[in-house]
């Protein structure tokens, strides 16, 4: 209990120090470099080190595995959690990068839907296709459909009479921007065959929006399953915390006895197998 209270106090102190540093930087920006009364000219070295460490961790959250491993190693009096924390850093980082890529993919898909709707609205307002595309790309919602390089290529093609459908097809190679290929096809048909571009973009927007809404409904249906998986995954940690609070010293048993090490290895293997199995079931339901 004393060790747990010490760890909580240390975490609260680090969080408080980080909040103080953030407020101090914000005040310096607002006051344009004017120092507050009584503030020293130079900060203590330890405060600078902590602030830099917090900036790195805030940008790369996988490094939080190391402080957690240090705390578990101190509580269990064993170096094994340090090795596990070092191994977990790249694995957690890969998981976080995958989640970030998925978020950017969904954001880009939403930007494509917004771009189709904005171009169609500009066309119905009487603008020419190139002018409508330029005006739509200037909107905040539609700007997320293209990356910087792809947006520059599409803007150049629309502004200087280039091959807009080809520029849109190249932009459609981005992850999550598949709808731009349909927009390029609508543009090509409208230019070559004289068909109405606004009507085609309306139908494309409706199809993309329906596909996005279907994914959102599927995600909402799977939220309960993922919550159950998360609760089941956290239960062993809760059991260890309860055992430590009752004075049973489960970490010492797991890390310092042969039977405990065997149980630890078996438990980690079963935990990983259960999470992988649940993720596979959820992916199968999503497909």
Nearest to 137 by CA among 151, 150, 120: 151
Summarize the confidence of residues 48-61 as an average pLDDT: 66
Average pLDDT in the chain: 79
Distance of CA 232 to the CA centre of its chain: 23
- In this prediction, residue 223 carries a pLDDT of 83
Stated as kind and residue range, the H or E segment containing 51 is helix 45-59
Is the pLDDT at 276 greater than 60? The verdict is yes
Q: What pLDDT, on the 0 to 100 scale, is given for residue 68? A: 85
**Positive or negative: CA dihedral 231, 236, 238, 239:** positive
The secondary structure of 204-259 as a DSSP string is: HHHHHHHHHHHHHHHHHHHHHHHHHHHHHHHHHHHHHHHHHHTT--HHHHHHHSHH
Q: Given this model, what pLDDT does residue 176 score?
A: 85
Distance between CA atoms of 200 and 209, rounded to whole angstroms?
Answer: 14
pLDDT at position 28 is: 55
Distance in angstroms (rounded) separating the CA atoms of residues 201 and 189: 11
Instruction: Please say if the pLDDT value at position 203 is more than 60.
Output: yes
228: left (phi over 0), alpha (psi -120 to 50) or beta: alpha
**Cβ contact 184:172 at 8 Å:** yes
How many angstroms separate the CA atoms of 165 and 144, rounded? 19
Q: Is the per-residue pLDDT at 264 higher than 60?
A: yes
207 or 23: which leads in pLDDT: 207
pTM as predicted:
0.68
Q: How confident is the model at residue 286 (pLDDT cuts 50, 70, 90)?
A: low
122 versus 285: the higher-pLDDT residue is 122
Higher confidence at residue 132 or residue 58? 132
CB under 8 Å to 181, separation ≥6 — which residues? Answer: 168, 169, 172
Q: Alpha-carbon distance 210 to 206, whole Å?
A: 6
State whether residue 39 is helix, strand or coil: coil
For residue 254, pLDDT beyond 70: yes
- Which pLDDT does position 187 carry in this prediction? 87
Contact 222, 285 (CB under 8 A): yes
pLDDT score for 285: 60
**Reported confidence tier of residue 33, pLDDT bands at 50, 70, 90:** very low
Average pLDDT of the residues in 123-141: 83
Report the pLDDT value the prediction gives residue 79, as an integer from 0 to 100: 87
Per-residue burial over 7-17, b = 16 or more CB atoms within 10 Å of its CB, e = otherwise: beeeeeeeeee
Taking phi first (over 0 means left), then psi (-120 to 50 degrees means alpha), and beta for anything else, what does residue 38 get?
left
């Amino acid at each position: 209990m004393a060790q747990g209270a010490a760890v909580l106090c240390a975490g609260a102190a680090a969080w408080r120090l980080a909040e103080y540093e953030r407020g101090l930087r914000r005040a310096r920006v607002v006051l344009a470099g004017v120092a507050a009364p009584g503030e020293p000219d130079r900060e203590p070295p330890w405060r600078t080190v902590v602030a830099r460490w917090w900036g790195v961790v805030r940008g790369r959250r996988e490094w939080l595995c190391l402080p957690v491993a240090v705390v578990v190693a101190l509580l269990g009096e064993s170096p094994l959690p340090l090795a596990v924390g070092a191994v977990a850093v790249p694995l957690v980082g890969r998981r976080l990068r995958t989640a970030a890529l998925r978020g950017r993919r969904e954001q880009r898909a939403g930007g494509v839907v917004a771009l189709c709707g904005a171009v169609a609205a500009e066309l119905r307002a009487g603008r020419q296709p190139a002018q409508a595309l330029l005006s739509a790309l200037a909107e905040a919602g539609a700007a997320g459909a293209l990356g910087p390089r792809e947006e520059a290529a599409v803007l150049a093609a629309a502004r200087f009479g280039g091959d807009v459908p080809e520029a849109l097809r190249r932009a459609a190679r981005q992850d999550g921007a598949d709808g731009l290929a349909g927009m390029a096809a609508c543009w090509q048909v409208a230019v070559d065959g004289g068909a109405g571009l606004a009507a085609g973009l309306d139908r494309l927007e409706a199809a993309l929006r329906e596909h996005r809404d279907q994914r959102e409904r599927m995600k909402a249906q799977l939220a309960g399953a993922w919550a159950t998986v998360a609760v089941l995954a956290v239960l062993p940690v809760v059991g260890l915390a309860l055992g430590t609070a009752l004075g049973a010293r489960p970490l010492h048993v797991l890390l310092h006895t042969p039977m405990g090490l065997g149980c630890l290895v078996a438990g980690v293997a079963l935990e990983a197998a259960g999470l992988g199995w649940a993720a596979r079931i959820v992916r199968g339901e999503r497909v």
